[in-house]
Amino acid sequence: MAGLIRRPAPLAALLLLALSLSTCSSAPRYGRADVPHLATREVSPARPVAEADPKLASADAPLRQGDDDLEAGDRWRTRVSWYGEGWHGRRTASGEIFDLSELSAAHRRLPFGTWLQVTNLNNGKSVNVRVNDRGPFKRGRTLDLSKEAARQLGFLRDGTAQVEVRVLSLP
């Protein structure tokens, strides 16, 4: 009876091992340039010219429910936070070096180089920021701001603020 139990052939075991190891490559499957929303792009540091657009000047524009397919003039309300010290000097998702003293923002999907006007609803202070990173990854937030933007908006100590965000321009 012992002769009826078959053991896998050594060749089959080696093929199975080789197949499993070939799927565990340390090289990335896709590079940044292969994925359009992660590709590094040159962005213009020029300030937006939103004031000339009458659509942007209207405070009567309806608030958006989501942030898909945004256009210049669209606006929404959200809770924002800020980031700085731990990321200062490191590369952002756009490939730029993060500088906590610049006016920048992280958004999950907006194109890099998008200009946003962010207004703190508690004190009315506003600042224009440029999207150059991805985030935030906390539920209920659609925007993370640099430390300098948080300072100018007056919520540096609190850490978060309720704001209205208006799209000034898209690249």
pLDDT tens column, 84-130: 777 788 898 999 988 888 999 999 999 999 999 999 999 999 999 99
| pLDDT, the chain, mean | 73
CATH superfamily membership of 74-171 = RlpA-like domain (2.40.40.10)
Which residues, other chains included, contact 152 with Cβ-Cβ below 8 Å and sequence gap of 6+?
103, 125, 127
Strands 144-146 and 75-83: parallel
* 3: confidence class by pLDDT, cuts 50, 70, 90: low
What is the DSSP code (8-state) at residue 171? -
Query: Cα–Cα distance between 99 and 130 in angstroms, integer?
Result: 12
- Domain boundaries defined on the chain: 74-171
When pLDDT is cut at 50, 70 and 90, the band that residue 35 belongs to is: very low
d(CA 10, CA 5): 15
Question: Rounded CA gap, 33 and 155, in Å?
Answer: 36
The mean pLDDT value for 6-23 works out to 58
**144-167 pLDDT per residue, tens:** 999 999 999 999 999 999 999 999
Q: What is the mean pLDDT of residues 16-42?
A: 42
